Amino acid sequence: MTGARRPIIGLSTYVETARWGAHNARAAILHMSYVDAVREAGGRAVLLPPDDLDAGVLELLDGLVITGGADVSPAYYGAEPHATTVSRADRDAGELALLHGAWERDIAVLGICRGMQLMAVAAGGALHQHLPELLGSERHRPGPFDRVVFGSHEVELAEGSRCRSVLGDRLTVNSLHHQAVADPGKLTATGWCVEDGLIEAVEDPARRFSVGVQWHPEESDHTIITALVQAAARR
């Protein structure tokens, strides 16, 4: 059976100790929800473990998704770590190399949760390190750190933005994060939590497709992931 080549979408991965079969070892892993969302959108997912030696793999990719996960090291935005901040040096270095390389090549990029925060930091911005201290609310991460419990709230999107053209002016999103973008740097904030004004989406209007969202579309509405795959197909 033949057909048009599906756009190849790179997905950054975690490195964690995992169990499967008789194995208990360090592994490059990622939730299948990311892979399923890319496949359902017409793309071909390729997993990218942390690697900071070069960004040459981008020559083989049509699009890039920086996925969720651990906190970005505050050293990248000149801050001391909060007591709750847990970063992964391998992911920071490897994903920053991919992100800057993708921007240089104008490859379609989507940052999800941590991925959006990394985009802001890479663009010269900064993060809020612990939202409960800032907002006095657990709206954005209602459960404990060792459990996956999503919050829910509304997001309003800016008129004229890429996000609004794809998602409409307002939507209800899931939420699982204790950090957030305080300063988007050279990126443009284009989405905000209706209840507290927290930045929920960023983008670079000068690039073909460079969008970050704070929520987890891979676990709910895949529309923004579909838009990423469609932009990648036009590379």
User: Could you read off the pLDDT tens digit of each residue along the chain, which spans 235 residues?
Assistant: 357 899 999 999 999 999 999 999 999 999 999 999 999 999 999 999 999 999 999 999 999 999 999 999 999 999 999 999 999 999 999 999 999 999 999 999 999 999 999 999 999 999 999 999 988 767 788 777 778 889 999 999 999 999 999 999 999 999 999 999 999 999 999 999 999 999 999 999 999 999 999 999 999 999 999 999 999 998 7
Kind and range of the H or E run holding 119: helix 114-122
So what's the pLDDT on residue 2?
54
So what's the pLDDT on residue 111?
98
CA distances from 205 to 9, 74, 109, 188, 235 (A): 21, 26, 12, 8, 17
So what's the pLDDT on residue 148?
84
CA distances from 193 to 11, 104, 143, 157 (A): 26, 30, 19, 9
**Which residue ranges make up each domain of the chain?**
8-233
User: What global pTM score does this model have?
Assistant: 0.96
| Closest alpha carbon to 95 in 1, 30, 161 | 30
CB 88 within 8 A of CB 33: no
**CA torsion angle 51 56 57 63 (round to 10):** 110
Which residues are catalytic, by number?
113, 216, 218
Task: Give the Cα separation of 209 and 66 in Å (integer).
Answer: 14
Task: Give the Cα separation of 201 and 156 in Å (integer).
Answer: 9
Measured from the Cβ of residue 227, the count of other Cβ atoms closer than 10 Å reads: 21
Domain 8-233 coded CATH 3.40.50.880: yes
